[in-house]
Amino acid sequence: MIERIRDEAGAAGPCGGPAGVSRIAPCLRAGLIAMAALAAVAATTAASAQPAVPPASSAASGASASSASSAAKDAGAANDTDAGLGAWWRGTEARWNGWLQVDAAYAWPVSGRFTNLRTKGELRGQGNWGTGLKWRLSARAHYDAAYDLSDHYPPSVKRDQRAEIGLHEAYVDFSRGDWEFRLGKQNIVWGEMVGLFVADVVSAKDLRSFILPEFDQIRIPQWAARAEWFAGDSHLELIWVPFPEVDDIGQPGAEFFPTPLRYEGLGFDVIGEKKPSGKLSNSGVGLRASTLIAGWDLTAFVYRAPDTQPAFQRSLEPGAGGTPTVVYQARYDRVTRIGGTLSKDFDGIVAKAEVVHTDGRSFNQLELDAGNGIVELDTIDWAASIDATPADRWRINAQFYQRAFLDYDSRIGLDHRENGASLLVAHELAPNVDAEMLALTSLNRSDRLVRAMLTWMRGPNVRIRGGVDVFHGHPLGMFGRFADNDRVWVEYRYSF
């Protein structure tokens, strides 16, 4: 239920992968050119649309739709020359900001080593060319010195997680009548549960640090076209994702790699992922509708695309010395998900629920003689939560979640209904100091994660946090498989 399993870092592309650091210029240049092309398309439509910004703002920008289109064409024609990109930017009103973060994590008490010594940052800009045409561009980078200090990790893990730079978001917005459009690399968020991704079916996730980072650090933006229609309290959203990303699960041997089952007396190997091909037949398409009725915020959606979570197919191959080897390969099957959400504020107590039916999701079978070890099952995932402030400076969020198998197969090693619960308690200790505890646990077996942290807002631009993460439970459990990964951590972030 908690989406748990790899985008740009391991993919062979201009903006990601192990060689990402050596591709800084091509990556950013490609992003700028892509935005220029998007702007040229959008400007043609936006020229006859109503302004999406107040007329005064449009006039102040000093740019028209036609000039934006011309600049975009100039940039595209210049390809990756600096002069071409400079022409594309002329006339735009831009605002830039971002953040720089340093964090460290120490595995304790089992490993006794640093698992993170990371410096990371984001630079983002946004602006408009007038006539309702807006843009947003951001890039992220990080370097983790923990991989320079330890030989614990395989070379493939070091290449994958030591350093990375890439385009994060790059899109243009425009409107026409009651419709608003967004083209480019963007986050599409359909779910809002604490620590869970139940209805958040479009976003791929970077789970190389499991679900421990903040959600804006986990979600991977998708290249997509989105159209939204607004009428009163109703809203309709159409999306097309031509080349869907899948979850970034990292490389075998990484701290939070979802290692498949090992069989005693047999060899073990995990080979490269079998990701969806770039064919348009693998595109993601979705529809989401929402409305407000008597204070209830209701949504319904359908989305069909390759599953962002992998299933590990397996084969039994001859091994060295005559010992057979179980070889695993992650694959991502195309699935259809139909679901909905609801929420309502009862005088300060907010109730929420999310439900998703998934048709034909692949699961691993435990028996070694079960062919490729994959079985397709229909599931219903749902969660319900209450968020309240019972007293001054206190916040409590309680959730119950479940995965129910509609065509159950006991060989997957899970119960017919997998139940779980979470509790978040937050308290403001002082005007700039907050304490928070989050616990997630299975109700079927011993399997849990407990997080505790302190946050100090040292002025408007500086945030300092520290905490501890404790995993416990069954070695095949969602959290128990990482029982040796308990850690203490500290984080410093400067926003500008």
Could you report the per-residue pLDDT of 428-448, keeping only the tens digit for each?
999 999 999 999 999 999 999
pLDDT of residue 194: 86
For residues 52-62, average pLDDT: 33
Among 51-60, 198-207, 452-461, the range scoring the smallest mean pLDDT is 51-60
Cα 430 to Cα 432: distance, rounded to the nearest angstrom: 5
Q: Is the predicted pLDDT of residue 148 greater than 70, yes or no?
A: yes
pLDDT digits (tens, 9 = 90+) for 464-492: 999 999 999 999 899 999 999 999 999 99
- Give how far Cα 175 sits from Cα of 45, 50, 121, 436, Å: 8, 7, 31, 41
For residues 346-350, average pLDDT: 94
pLDDT of residue 95: 95
pLDDT of residue 21: 42
pLDDT of residue 5: 30
For residues 399-415, average pLDDT: 96
Q: Which residue has the higher pLDDT, 56 or 116?
A: 116
Tell me the pLDDT band of 426, cut-offs 50, 70 and 90. very high
Give residue limits of the domains in the chain.
94-495
Architecture field, domain 94-495: Beta Barrel (2.40)
For residues 120-135, average pLDDT: 92
For residues 306-335, average pLDDT: 93
Among 46-60, 234-248, 475-489, the range scoring the smallest mean pLDDT is 46-60
Number of H helices, E strands in the chain: 7, 23
Inter-residue contact 495 to 461 (CB < 8 Å): yes
Instruction: Identify which of 118, 111, 198 has the alpha carbon closest to the alpha carbon of residue 152.
Output: 111
For residues 53-62, average pLDDT: 33
Tell me the pLDDT band of 176, cut-offs 50, 70 and 90. very high
% the chain with pLDDT above 90:
74
Tell me the pLDDT band of 371, cut-offs 50, 70 and 90. confident
Q: Is the predicted pLDDT of residue 390 greater than 70, yes or no?
A: yes
226: left (phi over 0), alpha (psi -120 to 50) or beta: beta
Q: Is the predicted pLDDT of residue 53 greater than 70, yes or no?
A: no
For residues 59-75, average pLDDT: 35
Q: Is the predicted pLDDT of residue 104 greater than 90, yes or no?
A: yes
Q: Is the predicted pLDDT of residue 17 greater than 90, yes or no?
A: no
pLDDT of residue 486: 97
Q: Is the predicted pLDDT of residue 25 greater than 80, yes or no?
A: no
Cα 219 to Cα 351: distance, rounded to the nearest angstrom: 24
Q: Is the predicted pLDDT of residue 33 greater than 80, yes or no?
A: no
Instruction: Identify which of 102, 479, 106 has the alpha carbon closest to the alpha carbon of residue 256.
Output: 479
Among 57-66, 280-289, 406-415, the range scoring the smallest mean pLDDT is 57-66
For residues 396-418, average pLDDT: 96
Amino acid at 31: G
Q: What is the mean pLDDT of the chain?
A: 85
pLDDT of residue 82: 44
The reported pTM is 0.81
**Number of residues in the chain:** 496
% the chain with pLDDT above 70:
81
Instruction: Identify which of 345, 421, 413 has the alpha carbon closest to the alpha carbon of residue 383.
Output: 421
The encoded tokens of residue 444 equal: 């079927």
Task: Please state, as a whole number, how many other Cβ atoms lie within 10 Å of the Cβ of residue 432.
Answer: 13
Q: Which residue has the higher pLDDT, 177 or 427?
A: 427
Tell me the pLDDT band of 86, cut-offs 50, 70 and 90. low
Q: Is the predicted pLDDT of residue 331 greater than 50, yes or no?
A: yes
Q: Is the predicted pLDDT of residue 372 greater than 50, yes or no?
A: yes
Listed in sequence order, the residues at least 6 apart from 483 whose beta carbon sits closer than 8 Å to its beta carbon are 471, 472, 473, 475
pLDDT of residue 343: 97
The DSSP 8-state label assigned to residue 206 in this structure reads: B
pLDDT of residue 90: 56
